Amino acid sequence: MESGNTTRRISSFFLLGFSESPYLQFLIFALFLSMYLVTVLGNLLIIMAIITQSHLHTPMYFFLANLSFVDICFTSTTVPKMLVNIHTQNKTITYADCISQMCVFLVFGELDNFLLAVMAYDRYVAICHPLYYTVIVNHRLCILLVLLSWVVSILHAFLQSSIMLQLTFCRGVKIPHFFCELNQLSQLTCSDNFPSHLIMHLVPVLLAVISLSGILYSYFKIVSSIRSISSVQGKYKAFSTCASHLSIVSLFYSTGLGVYVSSAVVQSLHSAAEASVMYTVVTPMLNPFIYSLRNKDVKRALERLLGGKL
């Protein structure tokens, strides 16, 4: 039952962000603008290098190009709106824009999850079944895996959005975050609908567990295969092919897990927002650096693209 101070469709939300201090807001604006530009430029360079260099037209780099594109979209879902809010000193976001932002954020967040799992499978086949790699991980399978990731991510986002549209919110809702995040919105609803809340929290966890389980299984088999290699040089060469991906996986999941841990342990109004910066902004920004510094093929391709030494 809806009370007198609730409505099914409120006109807008209020994003609290990080700080009310004008000085701190200027620093936050400059910091996030810099990180956003680095993220977009770095990932665009990765994509351009993979497209223009024929020796990078392999499944591994095809998935990397898709990951870079998703990272650009992932960050673009939240940071530009936050920068506009700081610049205009207007922290409101309309109901429709908030639900849309949440939906798009979920799409690209899940895509990150699934693409990391797909890349782990690619490395598993390359290391554990090298003779059959080109047969198993063919062009058709690569397209199919990426399309499947998109379909599942979009369906999940639509599911969460449709549930959110059925819930009611209190008037004058303030979101202690810099974007419309699913968990924050679910905590601010006035609807006592246990099945809906259960689905909203259970489905993302289930999808994350499925992706992470695939990654862990792939690396379990990879480690077992590497251990069977007799020479140290052979072990190093095999491990180096997945070192960059492993670094990104560790960074993405550790920062994502840190959001929920910090939110639960630190009872601060802005704790979730501050922790979310790591996996929504910092991780996509660091991905190009990790691949360009730890992967010789990408580094050489970027050097040719830029016409100099990195």
C-alpha span between 179 and 102 (Å, rounded): 8
User: If pLDDT is split at 50, 70 and 90, which confidence band does 271 have?
Assistant: low
pTM > 0.75: yes
Asked if residue 6 is part of any domain, the answer here is no
User: How confident is the model at residue 255, as a pLDDT?
Assistant: 76
- Residue 7: the pLDDT is 44
Q: Radius of gyration of the chain from Cα atoms?
A: 21
In angstroms, the CA 21 to CA 206 distance is 39
Q: Is the pLDDT of residue 281 over 80?
A: yes
In CATH, what number is assigned to the domain containing residue 171?
Answer: 1.20.1070.10
Mean pLDDT, residues 44-53 taken together: 92
Distance CA 76, CA 98 (A): 14
Which pLDDT value is given to residue 118?
A: 96
The residue behind tokens 């920062």 is 255
Residue 259 has pLDDT above 80, yes or no: no
The three-state secondary structure class of 18 is coil
Mean pLDDT of the 46-63 span = 91
pLDDT of 27 strictly over 80 = yes
Question: How is 141-190 classified by DSSP, letter by letter?
Answer: HHHHHHHHHHHHHHHHHHHHHHHHHTS-EETT-EESSSS--HHHHHHTB-
Residue 200: pLDDT over 60? yes
In a domain? residue 4: no
Residue range 108-112: mean pLDDT, rounded: 94
The residue segments making up the domain with residue 178 are: 11-306
The verdict on residue 249 lying in a domain is yes
Q: Considering the chain, what percentage of its residues have pLDDT values greater than 70?
A: 89
Determine which helix (DSSP H) or strand (DSSP E) holds 288, and give its type and residue range.
helix 283-294
* pLDDT at position 125: 94
pLDDT bin (cut points 50, 70, 90) of residue 91 is confident
Tokens of 33: 């603008």
With H, G, I as helix, E, B as strand and everything else as coil, classify residue 231. coil
Residue 270: pLDDT over 60? no
Residue 5's pLDDT band (cuts 50, 70, 90):
very low
State the average pLDDT for the chain: 85
Span 43-69, average pLDDT = 92
Residue-level pLDDT at 1: 40
Q: Does a structural domain hold residue 228?
A: yes
Give the mean pLDDT of 95-121. 94
Question: In the prediction, which pLDDT does 269 show?
Answer: 52
Whether residue 16 is contained in a domain is answered as yes
The pLDDT confidence band at residue 310, using thresholds 50, 70 and 90, is low
* Residue 184 included in any domain: yes
For the cut 50, the answer to whether the pLDDT of residue 171 exceeds it is: yes
Residue 155 lies in a domain: yes
Of 147-161, 162-176, 182-196, 248-262, give the range with the top mean pLDDT.
147-161
Q: How many domains does the chain have?
A: 1
Note whether residue 3 is domain-resident.
Answer: no
